[in-house]
Amino acid sequence: MPWRFSPRSHRPRLDILGISTVAGNIPLDLTTKNALKLLELAGRTEVPVHAGCDRPLGRALVTAEHVHGETGLDGPDLPEPATKAGALHGADFIIETVREREAGTVTLLTLGPLTNVALAFAKAPDIVPRLQGLVMMGGGCFQGGNITPAAEFNVYVDPEAAAMVFRSGVPITVLSLDVTNNMRSTKARIAAFSDLGNASGKAVAAMLAFSERFDVEKYNWEGAPLHDPCVTAYVLNPAIFEGREVNVEIETGSPLTRGMTVVDYWGVSGRPKNALWVRSGDSDRFFALLTERIGRLP
């Protein structure tokens, strides 16, 4: 999702330039439909959506309906979207968007496998130095993995794409399981979304109430971790989070540790630092920010 940051002293704002969908938790057609549904729910149908890669660069697709339901958005009863995706391939949309705007003003926010981004970088390496950066949800170090003992789902699905992106030279900020696993949607926090009284708040509450059943049983926590919104929260208020510059390499060869993010947190390898690894955050401030922003929507 390309976006541009407009600084304001008290109310930072994201200019969302468009959404590039990718196969991940669910197949591409459902991911694209869900993006259109959510934009209609939020009253932002002017934001373009372009479908990207329907499979990883060199592997069979792994999906996660067991967590998110058959639609990938089970829980709320959202109508079929009235809008349609654009004609461009998602990777080409990224390329055009970055080239059309002033260098250093566009950042990519990624919430799934990095397939579209890797393809865009391979097709148009000139866009890499033009980007302000890339902020991603993915990986794990101290928390291990959530799809295998070693790997987080987004990186596991397409480790070759992740390896390409981490070696590209683009400034990367990683919101990993180390921090997102601590952002837990407790019953009180879910109720706060529902109590907003708007359609978006009720839909978010329904999504979380559905999806949390899997993780609550899995982890035996009071609430389930809320991963992807950490990316936007970081951009809006990085002071909520803490991390350090590290080297990250992606395991692509081993069947046992496929997709592992090998994080040199203590600087023992001598390899150059290529990412800001976010390890912790204030969950109360995170949910307060998220609830306030959802409250602005229809």
89 belongs to the catalytic site = no
Annotate 110-172 with three-state secondary structure: ECCCCHHHHHHHHHCHHHCCCEEEEEEECCCCCCCCCCCCCCCHHHHHCHHHHHHHHCCCCCE
Q: In angstroms, rounded to a whole number, what is the distance separating the alpha carbons of residues 48 and 32?
A: 11
- Residue 135 β-bridge partners: 109, 173
Pick the catalytic residue: 50, 68, 89, 227?
A: 227
User: Is there a contact between 202 and 297 (Cβ–Cβ < 8 Å)?
Assistant: no
Q: How many CA atoms lie less than 13 Å away from 205 in the CB half-sphere?
A: 18
CA 89 to the chain's CA centroid: 19
- Residue 224 β-bridge partners: 185
Q: What amino acid positions are annotated as catalytic residues?
A: 227
